[in-house]
Amino acid sequence: MATASAGGMELALFTDGVLAVDHARFGFPEINHGLLPADKGIQRAVKLLGAHTARNLLLTGEIFGIRRAVDIGLVERVVEPDRLLTVAVERARTLAAKPAVLYAALKWSVNKPVDEDDGESLRATLSAAENYFDDPAAAAARARWSGRRDR
């Protein structure tokens, strides 16, 4: 049985996407064992799953199946067990083909604290633009996009 609980659940929350098989199970069972998840994992669960869902999962210690994992946005795609590795490698190749500097800037923006003020957000946006504007891979992506747009 494929289970991502406790630290495995936290790891799933920090990935760029979760592929899972139909019999996968997930959860934060720590409360049932006299433990707590890491605070960073708790905060990530709140950010990605919402406070109500995260609170429910953390306080009950429930282990749940794939249907709920998809419903709450934890799992993005259910894959047949014999295709899981192939699909994961295909997805990794697709993402790896993106300009690394743009990928990193997007990940930073998605993962940054939500309470950042507008001035900090503007500075971060300008700093990211400085970093990627002259990057060869990003420039090539813009050139390809411009070429397609003109048709």
The residues carrying an active-site annotation are 10, 30
Integer Cα distance of 139 and 106 in angstroms: 16
Cβ atoms of 85 and 58 closer than 8 Å: no
Place of tokens 């003109």: 150
Helices 136-149 and 100-111 cross at an angle (nearest 10°) of: 90
Backbone angles phi, psi at 65, to 5 degrees: -95, -175
Backbone angles phi, psi at 61, to 5 degrees: 70, 15
